[in-house]
Amino acid sequence: MDNIYAASGTAALVASTLMQIVKNSPLVPWINRETGRLNAVLSIVVAGLMAFGIQSSFNYDGATGAFAIGFSGTVTGLLHSIGHWVAQWAAQHGMYKGFIAPAEILGEMRAIQKLGLLGQQPNVQHEEPPTLRP
């Protein structure tokens, strides 16, 4: 992608979705919804990897089969990358709070309603309003 904002937003949504899948998966039992600090660290690390991937240049030479990753090793380049890391984490967290968490909460509420764990809704009978006769 040529637009860094589109790349960052797409990467944030993909990363948030994949991390949520991992949290709900039985294959990785040590990462779940109750491991808040570990989830935060995982989110920060993933955001760093995403920012590095967006900031880097990847070149493949089909003739030789060589694959090269270019990254600016200067102090300015490093500070720029840290800024993108923070922005990527913020975008990732925003995507999680805006799209992933509400959908999961809604799904949980529907499951709870199906099980009847919210209690019985009061049965309120409404009287018909009196009709006026001409």
Cα–Cα nearest to 88, from 2, 3, 13: 13
Domain assignment present for 65: yes
- Determine the number of helices (DSSP H) and then strands (DSSP E) in the chain: 4, 2
In a domain, 107, yes or no: no
Backbone angles phi, psi at 60, to 5 degrees: -120, 130
Structural domain of 51: 4-101
Decide if 40 is inside a domain: yes
Query: What pLDDT, on a 0 to 100 scale, did the predictor assign at position 116?
Result: 60
113-130 per-position pLDDT tens digit: 666 655 555 455 556 666
Residue 127 belongs to a domain: no
Decide if 34 is inside a domain.
Answer: yes
What's the pLDDT tens digit per position in 68-119? 767 667 788 778 888 888 988 898 888 888 888 877 777 666 666 666 655 5
| Strands annotated E in the chain | 57-61, 66-70
Q: If you average pLDDT over every residue of the chain, what do you get?
A: 77
If you average pLDDT over residues 38-67, what whole number do you get?
Answer: 81
Find tokens 């984490």 and name the residue: 89
Say if residues 11 and 43 touch (Cβ distance below 8 Å): no
Task: Please tell me whether residue 71 adopts helix, strand or coil conformation.
Answer: coil
| 112 domain residue, yes or no | no
How many domains in the chain?
A: 1
Q: Considering the chain, what percentage of its residues have pLDDT values greater than 90?
A: 1
> Residue 60 and residue 114: Cα distance in Å, rounded?
53
**Domain annotation covers residue 118:** no
